[in-house]
């Protein structure tokens, strides 16, 4: 046991009602915290899980209640403050100012404000627009974003998806499922994910998408979008590529990353990363201000800063919440597991685990790029540091279990070193 | 009265792994534990469409291969999120090498949007 930061009867204030915020509250309760917990959320909605926003929710197969994090049959003992934005953090006395003029005092604060979607710049000049609002793409970050796209007729539409990550590719797959006339992905590289995941994986993803009629634009990065003159007829928008190429589109979906929601902390004493704006934390989630922690997409923990772990995965937010909950309550420290991510695109289930971002070599171990059964190993200096499988659940599970770090406790042996 | 059906042979099973049986709907998973016991539960994780047969079996529990919820092979109960609901447990009897399964009469807890993109 370590010394708790938060007394069992203390008030825990969680800022941000997403995955990390919800699971921090859940973890703290599981560790026996009896004091009040308040979760402030910007949206007028119950806390929900985001992965389905680009998949089942976007096709209409899943409804809002299917995405809820809390169990209505066994709800967390938490006070939800919804539809309220935060404007500032105060260290003395500790608490948070909200945009309705209130000040919420707390014995400990956990910042889980997440990230907001980056967007593509509008390249319209004001006279081109003829009084119209600047051209803006759809993004997919929160339920409102997904709802807007879900309510937009896609049948027969020419869709351009900007971005080459999993969110972009899942969106492209969903648009095909919804009957789009054409879907073109501007991934910013020839084969999507080649730089991050290696050529065999990128080729496998590309060939699966091409087999469903998705086209890939040349590898030049998208520079922005603008309205097309109505006299030209056809699609209303166009995406401009860095090589001068132009992609006409009825619908533009932008999935080019996200930036931490930390602008409300600029006047506080919480240290932020000068590049990304993320809240800088140690590997228990503690920030530079005593009693203030951060987790999830708004935070950059020490092992992220040192390049040991990637930022922004669902699994990171989920695990960090457990680590923070243990730290707050003085419970046995919870170690972070090997990084893990997954993505569903058509009938491909892609799972990656380990230090893939650190690899200097990728080897196909089994399957082929065209077979929907690829298995690759990643290595660094000749040591296997990660694995990625396409429809290889059993292999990925085995690797993941083999590298699992056991929690340190009185009963269990200490953490085993990872071969990375 | 519910009649048991032959799901597979014990010879088809590998200790510590599951075998997906999709001749029934929803599909079930039959497990042979390292300790030698045979169990059958619904194959689909209640959180998201993932085959529990590909999951990790330990201490008479199976961990979903997609996330970290684990289900008891004895009761079907789930231990931690993201799954919230248990899987159904089906009654297993062994007749020689034949694994006979009597399907649960409860309604399955299937994940939302199953079988879609």
- Domains of chain B as residue ranges with CATH: 5-102 (2.102.10.10)
Indicate if the pLDDT at residue A413 is higher than 60.
Answer: no
Is B113 in contact with A59 (Cβ distance < 8 A)?
yes
Tens of pLDDT, residue by residue over A13-32, are 999 999 999 999 999 999 99
Nearest neighbour of B116 by CB, restricted to A61, A74, A345: A61
Is B54 in contact with A342 (Cβ distance < 8 A)?
no
Token pair listed for B32: 């042979």
Whether B66 and chain A come into contact, CB under 8 Å, resolves to: yes
Contact B116, A177 (CB under 8 A): yes
Tell me, what's the pLDDT at A418? 41
- From chain B, the residues in CB contact with A149 under 8 A are none
Position with higher pLDDT, A159 vs B113 = A159
Is A49 in contact with B82 (Cβ distance < 8 A)?
yes
Nearest neighbour of B117 by CB, restricted to A342, A346, A401: A346
Nearest neighbour of A59 by CB, restricted to B54, B63, B116: B116
Indicate if the pLDDT at residue A245 is higher than 70.
Answer: yes
Q: Which helix (H) or strand (E) holds B33?
A: none
Whether A342 and chain B come into contact, CB under 8 Å, resolves to: yes
Tell me which residue of A367, A168, A384 sits closest to A258, measured CA to CA: A168
- A280, β-bridge pairs: A300
Helices A19-30 and A314-329 meet at what angle, rounded to 10? Answer: 30
Between CA A187 and CA A219 the distance in angstroms is 7
Lowest mean pLDDT among A128-137, B50-59, B80-89: A128-137
Domains detected in chain A: 12-116+259-329 (3.50.50.60), 119-256 (3.50.50.60), 347-402 (3.30.390.30)
Indicate if the pLDDT at residue A232 is higher than 80.
Answer: no
Indicate if the pLDDT at residue B116 is higher than 80.
Answer: no
Whether B17 and chain A come into contact, CB under 8 Å, resolves to: yes
Tell me, what's the pLDDT at A404? 79
Where residue B115 falls among pLDDT bands split at 50, 70, 90? very low
- Cα of B56 to nearest chain A Cα, Å: 7
Nearest neighbour of A401 by CB, restricted to B51, B56, B82: B56
Is A177 in contact with B117 (Cβ distance < 8 A)?
yes
Q: What is the mean pLDDT of residues A141-169?
A: 96
Q: What is the mean pLDDT of residues A173-194?
A: 96
Whether B18 and chain A come into contact, CB under 8 Å, resolves to: no
- Cα of B20 to nearest chain A Cα, Å: 12
Position with higher pLDDT, A94 vs B116 = A94
């Amino acid at each position: 046991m370590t010394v708790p930061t938060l007394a069992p009867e203390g008030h825990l204030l969680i800022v941000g009602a997403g995955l990390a915020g919800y699971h921090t509250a859940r973890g703290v309760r599981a560790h026996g915290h009896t004091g009040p917990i308040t979760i402030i959320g910007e949206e007028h909605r119950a806390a929900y899980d985001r992965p389905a926003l680009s998949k089942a929710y976007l096709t209409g197969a899943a409804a809002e209640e299917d995405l809820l994090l809390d169990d209505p049959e066994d709800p967390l003992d938490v006070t939800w403050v919804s539809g309220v934005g935060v404007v500032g953090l105060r260290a003395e006395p500790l608490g948070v100012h909200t945009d309705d003029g209130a000040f919420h005092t707390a014995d400990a604060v956990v910042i889980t404000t997440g990230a907001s979607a980056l967007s593509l710049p509008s390249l319209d000049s004001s006279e081109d627009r003829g009084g119209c609002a600047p051209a803006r793409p759809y993004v997919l970050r929160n339920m409102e974003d997904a709802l807007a796209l879900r309510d937009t007729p896609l049948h027969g539409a020419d869709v351009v998806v900007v971005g080459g990550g999993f969110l972009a590719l899942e969106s492209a797959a969903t648009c095909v499922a919804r009957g789009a006339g054409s879907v073109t992905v501007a991934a910013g590289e020839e084969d999507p994910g080649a730089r991050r995941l290696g050529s065999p994986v990128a080729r496998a993803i590309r060939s699966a998408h091409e087999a469903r009629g998705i086209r890939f634009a040349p590898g030049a990065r998208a520079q922005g979008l603008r309205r097309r003159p109505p006299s030209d007829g056809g699609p209303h928008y166009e995406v401009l590529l860095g090589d001068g190429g132009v992609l006409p589109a009825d619908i533009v979906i932008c999935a080019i990353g996200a930036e931490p929601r930390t602008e409300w902390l600029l006047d506080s004493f919480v240290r932020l990363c000068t590049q990304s704006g993320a809240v800088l934390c140690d590997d228990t989630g503690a920030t530079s201000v005593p009693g203030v922690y951060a987790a999830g997409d708004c935070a950059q923990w020490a092992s992220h800063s040192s390049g040991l772990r990637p930022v922004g995965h669902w699994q990171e937010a989920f695990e960090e919440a457990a680590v923070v909950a243990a730290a707050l309550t003085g419970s046995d420290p919870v170690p972070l597991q090997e990084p893990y991510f997954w993505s569903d695109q058509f009938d491909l289930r892609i799972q990656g685990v380990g230090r893939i971002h650190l690899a200097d070599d990728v080897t196909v171990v089994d399957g082929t790029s065209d077979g929907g059964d690829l298995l690759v190993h990643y290595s660094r200096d000749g040591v296997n540091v990660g694995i990625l499988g396409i429809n290889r659940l059993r292999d990925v599970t085995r690797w993941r279990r083999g590298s699992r770090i056991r929690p340190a406790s009185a009963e269990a042996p200490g953490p085993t070193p990872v071969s990375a | 009265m519910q009649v048991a059906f032959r799901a597979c042979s014990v010879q088809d099973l590998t200790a510590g792994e599951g075998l997906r049986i999709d001749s029934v709907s929803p599909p079930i998973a039959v497990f042979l534990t390292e300790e030698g016991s045979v169990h059958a539960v619904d194959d689909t994780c209640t959180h998201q469409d993932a085959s529990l047969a590909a999951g990790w079996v330990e201490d008479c529990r199976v961990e979903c291969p997609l996330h970290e919820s684990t289900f008891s092979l004895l009761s079907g109960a789930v231990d931690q999120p993201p799954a919230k609901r248990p899987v159904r447990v089906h009654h297993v009897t062994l007749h020689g090498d034949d694994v006979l399964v009597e399907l649960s009469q409860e309604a399955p807890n299937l994940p939302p949007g199953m079988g879609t993109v």
